A and B are shown apart, each in its own frame.
Chain A
Amino acid sequence: MVIKHKNIFKTQSAWSNADEKMLCLDTGSWRTSRPVLDKDKCNYCGLCALFCPPQCMNDMGDHYEANLDFCKGCGICANECPRKAITMVPEGEFTDG
């Protein structure tokens, strides 16, 4: 058997590292809408990051931003934000999606 596959995991088991690449596949492609932040409303409370299921909210120092490589667009951050600073916008409205 000739193996052409290039290993994704360095280890025997399926370890992933959030500081490098969190998951072994790009779940961002699953998204149908993305979280868009209104920085004026955001008070950097961190609830969006706390509730984010794949833990893909990046800490930008004064606000949080979803890592769109992994954000599946579930909308939990928008739902949890006490100041309604996050809006879920359909991917069709973006040209980079």
Chain B
Amino acid sequence: MVSAQKGQVRVITGNATGAYGAMLCRPDVIAAYPITPQSEIAEQLAQFKADGVIDSEFVEVEGENSAMNVVLAASVAGGRVFTATSSYGLVFMYDALQETSGFRAPVVMVNANRETPGIHAVSSGQQDMISARDAGWVQIITENDQEILDQIIMAYMLAEDNDILLPVMVNYDGFYLSYLAEAVEIYQIEDVDKFLAPLKKQSPRQKLVPGVSQGCGTHGMEMGYVEARYKHTQAMERVKNKVDEIDKKFGDYFGRYYGGQIEEYRTDDADIIIIASGSATGTARTVIDAKREQGIKVGLIKLRLFRPFPAERLIQALKGKKAIGVIDRSICFGWKYGPICMELKVLTQELGSVPILSYIDGLANLDITIPHIGRVVDEVNEAAKGKPYQDVTWIPMEE
């Protein structure tokens, strides 16, 4: 496949990018319900429909639970589908989320990360997606507007692959990226068609057909249930390499590479590593560069794939490092560490007795600032020298 033509560069918000990303993939059915900070996606897609830019069926639903059930049904009927949500919306579709993954329906959904119920926070944070981590979805975290667009295209390539057949949630920091306007290259739709064309060459997936008596997801008791769950977890394992493969193909064609499961920045000769995700990784790169100039051999890992957890890639990148700092934009009820840190600690056997420092920052719209990440680098650097360190630090609570 030769490379794509140049796209049109427009300055648009993360939300609008989400809508453009969906539009480029020509979904058959779209169903979405407005919720801050995602509403603009649903509005923009409705505008596309009104203007005749898309010929998708646009279903106006009465809530997020219906939105997910509509796209699930349309997906099981063989369609390509899209929806978007955030926070309370994601919580409201919780049962439907599990139905969707259990049906192995290749739904693509954008989730604008926002704090979740309990304390009524209309603010950014990854708690919504983190709380849905066991819903059986693939979860990918993006850093900027361009990556949102690119990841939506890659998400269809992943979800609809016959080796995978899993729903994919494309996440980005709500309020930060949702309303941030950046220059985004919007590819020619014909090029996106070409990129996604291999999906059509696969044998068609089983679908509901009028007049044929069949069911999906019904009555999976005893060994039927066990078998379906086993296949689901095996497919999750296959996602990891597939994400890397698709990233390579996407980069070769459109010219942008994201590293697949994780992006490594100055990690090769690094002694210590900082792990971050989402929009904060841009800030982190700036800090890494500054600290490098001070002589600290620090590298950065941007976690892109959260579910399935990219264990093998992380082990490869972290092996032999002297200390690791993990910045989480969410919390974990039941463990004192942040969720990404907690998951990383599962790899302790492979990584050896390396200090892993957990940092909670950026909750509820608080910025993960340059001084914050600078502090993390300094403390992790001290821990690498064998000095005593604090296990978990809630950065805003110490200011």
Contacts and interface: CB of A to CB of B under 8 A. Distances in A.
A19 interface: yes
Interface string A17-53: 1110011110100000000000000000000000000
B219 interface: yes
A19 B213 contact: yes
Name, among A7, A8, A13, A27, the residue most crowded by chain B CB atoms within 10 Å (CB to CB): A13
A28 to B, nearest CB: 13
Contact of A15 (B102, B216, B222, B235): B216
B57 to A, nearest CB: 23
Nearest to B165: A12
A74 to B, nearest CB: 15
A14 interface: yes
Contact of A13 (B212, B217, B219, B221): B217
B224 A55 contact: no
A13 to B, nearest CB: 4
Chain B, interface residues (CB within 8 Å), range: 20 to 34
Nearest to B218: A16
A23 B165 CA distance: 22
A25 B226 CA distance: 13
A17 B228 contact: no
Given A15-B206, A23-B218, A24-B219, A9 B224 contact: yes
Interface string B10-44: 00000000000000000000000000000000000
B104 interface: yes
B206 A14 contact: no
B231 A17 contact: no
B223 A8 contact: yes
7 contacts: A9-B227, A11-B206, A13-B103, A15-B206, A15-B214, A23-B218, A24-B224
Interface of A: 5, 7-9, 11-19, 22-25, 27, 55
Interface of B: 102-105, 165, 205-206, 212-224, 226-228, 231, 235
Given A11-B206, A14-B217, 18 more contacts: A5-B223, A8-B227, A9-B224, A9-B227, A11-B104, A11-B205, A13-B103, A13-B105, A14-B103, A14-B216, A15-B206, A18-B214, A19-B213, A24-B220, A24-B223, A24-B224, A25-B221, A27-B219
